Amino acid sequence: MNLNAFHGLEAENIYFKPLDTKDVQEIHSYASDEDVSRFIGWPLMKTVEETYHYIEEMLKREAAGTHLYASIILKSTQEIIGTAMIFNFDHEARHAEIGYVFHSGYWGKGYGTETVTLMNDFAFESLKLHKVHARIVDANIGSIRVIEKNGFVLEGRLRDYYFIEGSYYDLNLYGKFQPQ
């Protein structure tokens, strides 16, 4: 996998850069937010040290070739506003999963849509994937909007799949095929 290409992706308002432990404070600002962590599959980071160790784990996964991670940078301020990821690769079937997480102060501004567009283009054009999919908690309406704006289609639902803060939520499985 071409990490440099993934880490160098750029759109109108954002660009990607390599994940780095030096950015732990900025990443901790959203990794420690309960509203952000509720539906993303990351544990809530209570301390900067926990965030640091989680970044180290992500870097190990990337070095092993099982995951791609990038910090999402807002061009206008040069701030890290989130993390983008491609993972769960099936090289034989040529598909993978995408994910993303944003600081709540940047929700609803179109950055998620730009991020998913960048990842889709990279997945289909550079990685030559046949399909990209995303698993989303049904209550995560903002993420569902982002995925649907990018042409993903709801392919299935697993009822009561997630148990979060004492309540059950459905898992929505979205998919998108390589454009013909």
Q: Which of 104, 107, 78 lies closest to 13 in space, CA to CA?
A: 78
Question: Is 104 a domain residue?
Answer: yes
What does the pLDDT average to over 70-92? 97
Q: Does 9 fall in a domain?
A: yes
For 75, the domain range is 3-130
In a domain, residue 159? The reply is no
The single residue listed with the structure tokens 């940078």 is 73
The pLDDT tens digits for 111-166 are 999 999 999 999 999 999 999 999 999 999 999 999 999 999 999 999 999 998 88
Tokens of 17: 């850069």
112 in a domain, yes or no? Answer: yes
Q: Could you tell me if residue 62 is inside a domain?
A: yes
pTM recorded for the entire structure: 0.94
CATH code (residue 91): 3.40.630.30
Contact 29, 45 (CB under 8 A): no
Domain count, the chain: 1
